[in-house]
Structure 1
Amino acid sequence: MACPKNRVYYLDQPPLVDDLKHICSRLASKETYPLASDIQKNIPIYDVSKYAGRDTDTSLVESLQDEWSHILSEGPGVIVLKRMYAINGLEQTVDAANKIFGQILDDETRAKQNSDEGNKIDRNLKAHNVFTKLAKRAPQVFVDYYSNPWLDRVSQAWLGPGYRFNASLNIVPPGGPAQPAHRDFHMGFFGPDKCVKFPRLLQVANQTLTLQGAVAHSDMPMPSGPTRFLPFSQLFEAGYMAHRREEFQQYFQANYVSLPLEKGDGLFFNPSILHAAGNNTTTDFYRSAQLIQVNSIFGKPSEWVSSVPIVDKTWTLLREKYHKEGPSTSMMCLVQAIGDGYQFPVSLDNIQGDLFAMKTEQDLIQEGLEAGWDRDKIIRELKSSQKRRLSPFLDEL
């Protein structure tokens, strides 16, 4: 028996849209996802507000995570967590974050208008790395926002522990156009001439390194253009080769589904699912979302985020919270969100002792909270850790 080919397709053997049609003919059912509150247009919906106070119920959480993992890998590829920020006193957190985001947008828009970038301003209102910017401007809002246990639970369902966040703000004004259908990070940036060089297994495994998500920071009625999805399309192995081809774009346009969202809802999806932001057909409504990319510790994020300025601004609040709660669920969600949970990459020449006993940033933050370190000490420890890991590489530049 001949060895099977390692590639998905070759450039002279384009993917067939009929193969995608067959895959996307499947239906999601409550029988497969019994904990879902509803399934609409093939998208499972989970009202997590009904689980308020049960985010530490191991049996419940593991059952939910089993369903979410299946949805993302073998099922429709997209999940809605209804009222994700309408629990545990988080109702006002999105509004508070919106005020800070408005300040960030005003400052950055003025800076662009006064620079050579002024003529390149996107019609959408965007701000990058609002993860760090929120922590710097409003530490308490940051602490409240990222202590949400369901943000951690859905991230771990797909990526396990040690994941890293980066986040951006995207506001689509009235008349904002729709996007073409696409796949996301990592290989979504590559054209077919580059994708074809990667073996089949890696093209499929690519999706396991990232979870794409969004929290609705405004209501998103259908006329405002909430994100469009083609459920099950992440299962099409040749998808990164195919998604820019005209016949696949046409199939997406004829078959996509979309759901309205309410402010505070969460939306999470496999990065390989075909999706696109919809067009805002309103005349007076701004659609607003914080886009959250969650990255596996084994992958490269699209934006590097340093823990140092975030800890510097939030350490007093973190210590106060730890003093009141100890290692509670929300406390450990914050530690997970802020610090790097992986010790690599490093310069091995610069490491002494047991490499596998080397502390991660999460280890240092947790140790500092338990021992009551002051701000200066935790910052010294984190900077020292980063210096041991990064300075040999930076010295070579």
Structure 2
Amino acid sequence: MTDIAGSATPHLRTEDCHVADLVGLLERERTDVGAYPHAERVEQEVLVYAASTVLDADAGRREERLALEAELAHAWLHGPGIVVVEGALDAEVVDGVTVRFEELIAQQRAEGRAAGDHFAAPGANDRVWGALEKLAVADPHAFVDYYSSPVIALAARAWLGPGYQVTSQVNVVGPGGAGQTVHRDYHLGFTSPEVAAEHPAHVHALSPQLTLQGAVAHGDMPVESGPTLYLPHSQKYPHGFLAYWLPDFQEYFAAHHVQLPLRLGDAVFFNPAVFHAAGSNSTRSTRRMANLLQISSAFGRAMESTDRRRVVEAIYTALLEAAAAGRPDRLLRHAVAASAEGYAFPTNLDRDPPVDGMSPATQAEVVRAALAERAAPAELGRRLAEHEERRRTS
């Protein structure tokens, strides 16, 4: 694709995804530790920091903290896209939270709720959705000890500024557990390639800057236990949200990824556009547990509060009348887009899991389906109430 200013279309196309372009980019990029004065070393192109360095900067002068934050942001945007902080959280604090996570998993199993994820069938691995809220309710003191971490806070501020929001999911891959296929993450990474292609090119560049991905190791993770596989610098490939679905890109990732072992309490933070995948656990006894942190910008919100269910129910009869009068469906979809919630998240993934894709149904999809069926207003109200109920956290 040519420069957007001189292009006939600002959209990226799957047919323009070529492995040779990604390879050429990666061959030109090298992580220079000299450009990151706070880093301890570079390991397999990944920057590794000592927790003591981060703690000193956080507790020191504002200028020192801001210098480290700028360094980390540069690493995620212009550098390898991945940073490891060794000893990020105190082992005793992590162990205490691990106990709570194991209790939550045991409770899920006892209730017959096998929580799956986007890549593994229910029961294949253990997953605790909404783990941040569940930990807070189960053990407030453990929550405060854990999320008081200066490392998590400094990383979040470095990428997103103040006002960020933390969510987390616990992921456990048991002995023999299969890994994931290569992917990018939230937001565009949770859409199909067809939907991603509908977003203009600048949104492909913007999406990764709205979220910071992180993971805290809740046990030692030797390589054979399957810690995350990465392709450093791949966040710079502009077509990545379309490309990672393609077999030749998946084959290249499988042959050229890097994989760093972690120890209990280590944390990794990365740009969500980095090509990555959880590895397979080839051990006979290690249950690999990580607390996956998804830290979001505070800015992804509308200016005004709007009760969208109320709006939809108010206009639905008018939509039915317009459809009966022959107004084209594409025009009615515009009215639905202006009224209903068109995004699947945030939601309660325990009760509202993805079906046939990476994300659950949106409120707008519920409305469009009802309109297509010419469902009565009372039936739409029932479906909207059911949709709303699935999304509640408690």
Aligned position for 1:49: 52
Aligned position for 2:196: 195
Q: Which moved more, 1:252-261 or 1:48-57?
A: 48-57
Give secondary structure in 1 for the equivalent of 2:163: coil
Asked whether the equivalents of residues 112 and 121 of structure 1 are also in contact (C-alpha less than 8 Å), the reply is no
Rounded to whole Å, the distance in 1 between the matches of 2:229 and 2:111 is 33
Aligned position for 2:172: 171
Rounded to whole Å, the distance in 2 between the matches of 1:54 and 1:68 is 12
Q: Any idea what the Cα deviations from partners look like across 1:83-119, whole Å, max 9, x if unmatched?
A: 1013xxxx3110100111111111111112699xxxx
Asked whether the equivalents of residues 13 and 242 of structure 2 are also in contact (C-alpha less than 8 Å), the reply is no
Is there any run of 5+ residues in structure 1 with no aligned partner, and where?
Answer: 301-342, 349-392
Tell me the CA shift for residue 8 of structure 1: 4.4
Tell me the CA shift for residue 54 of structure 1: 4.5
Q: Determine whether 1:346 maps to 2:305.
A: yes
Give secondary structure in 1 for the equivalent of 2:59: coil
Asked whether the equivalents of residues 44 and 258 of structure 2 are also in contact (C-alpha less than 8 Å), the reply is yes
Provide closer, same or farther for how the CA distance between residues 63 and 73 of structure 1 changes in structure 2, counting only shifts above 3 A.
same
Tell me the CA shift for residue 50 of structure 1: 4.4
Aligned position for 2:299: 298
Provide closer, same or farther for how the CA distance between residues 344 and 149 of structure 1 changes in structure 2, counting only shifts above 3 A.
farther
Residue in structure 2 matching 1:80, options 71, 78, 84: 84
Rounded to whole Å, the distance in 1 between the matches of 2:179 and 2:257 is 13
Asked whether the equivalents of residues 196 and 242 of structure 2 are also in contact (C-alpha less than 8 Å), the reply is yes
* Aligned ranges 1:1-397 → 2 under 5 Å: 3-11=6-14, 13-25=15-27, 26-57=29-60, 58-86=62-90, 91-112=91-112, 121-299=122-300, 344-347=303-306
Tell me the CA shift for residue 52 of structure 1: 4.1
Asked whether the equivalents of residues 159 and 209 of structure 1 are also in contact (C-alpha less than 8 Å), the reply is yes
> Letter of the aligned partner of 1:224 in structure 2?
S
Provide closer, same or farther for how the CA distance between residues 113 and 64 of structure 1 changes in structure 2, counting only shifts above 3 A.
closer
Tell me the CA shift for residue 56 of structure 1: 2.4
Q: Any idea what the Cα deviations from partners look like across 1:330-362, whole Å, max 9, x if unmatched?
A: xxxxxxxxxxxxx954249xxxxxxxxxxxxxx
Tell me the CA shift for residue 129 of structure 1: 1.0
> Letter of the aligned partner of 1:38 in structure 2?
R
Asked whether the equivalents of residues 224 and 285 of structure 1 are also in contact (C-alpha less than 8 Å), the reply is yes
Is there any run of 5+ residues in structure 2 with no aligned partner, and where?
Answer: 116-120, 308-383, 389-394
Tell me the CA shift for residue 123 of structure 1: 1.4
TM-score if structure 2 supplies the norm length?
Answer: 0.72
Provide closer, same or farther for how the CA distance between residues 53 and 274 of structure 1 changes in structure 2, counting only shifts above 3 A.
closer
Q: Any idea what the Cα deviations from partners look like across 1:30-75, whole Å, max 9, x if unmatched?
A: 1211210010000000002245454221222112111110111111
> Letter of the aligned partner of 2:47 in structure 1?
P
Rounded to whole Å, the distance in 2 between the matches of 1:165 and 1:197 is 28
Asked whether the equivalents of residues 33 and 67 of structure 1 are also in contact (C-alpha less than 8 Å), the reply is yes
Provide closer, same or farther for how the CA distance between residues 63 and 345 of structure 1 changes in structure 2, counting only shifts above 3 A.
same
Tell me the CA shift for residue 154 of structure 1: 0.3
Rounded to whole Å, the distance in 2 between the matches of 1:135 and 1:285 is 27
Rounded to whole Å, the distance in 2 between the matches of 1:203 and 1:114 is 34
> Letter of the aligned partner of 1:45 in structure 2?
V
> Letter of the aligned partner of 1:37 in structure 2?
E
Provide closer, same or farther for how the CA distance between residues 53 and 76 of structure 1 changes in structure 2, counting only shifts above 3 A.
closer
Tell me the CA shift for residue 9 of structure 1: 3.0
Tell me the CA shift for residue 256 of structure 1: 0.4
Aligned position for 1:359: none
Provide closer, same or farther for how the CA distance between residues 7 and 244 of structure 1 changes in structure 2, counting only shifts above 3 A.
same
Rounded to whole Å, the distance in 1 between the matches of 2:84 and 2:142 is 23
> Letter of the aligned partner of 2:59 in structure 1?
T
Asked whether the equivalents of residues 6 and 200 of structure 1 are also in contact (C-alpha less than 8 Å), the reply is no
Query: Would you say how many aligned residue pairs link Structure 1 and Structure 2?
Result: 303
Give secondary structure in 2 for the equivalent of 1:112: coil
Rounded to whole Å, the distance in 2 between the matches of 1:290 and 1:146 is 12
Aligned position for 1:303: none
> Letter of the aligned partner of 1:107 in structure 2?
Q
Aligned position for 1:363: none
Tell me the CA shift for residue 201 of structure 1: 0.5
Report sequence identity in percent. Answer: 34
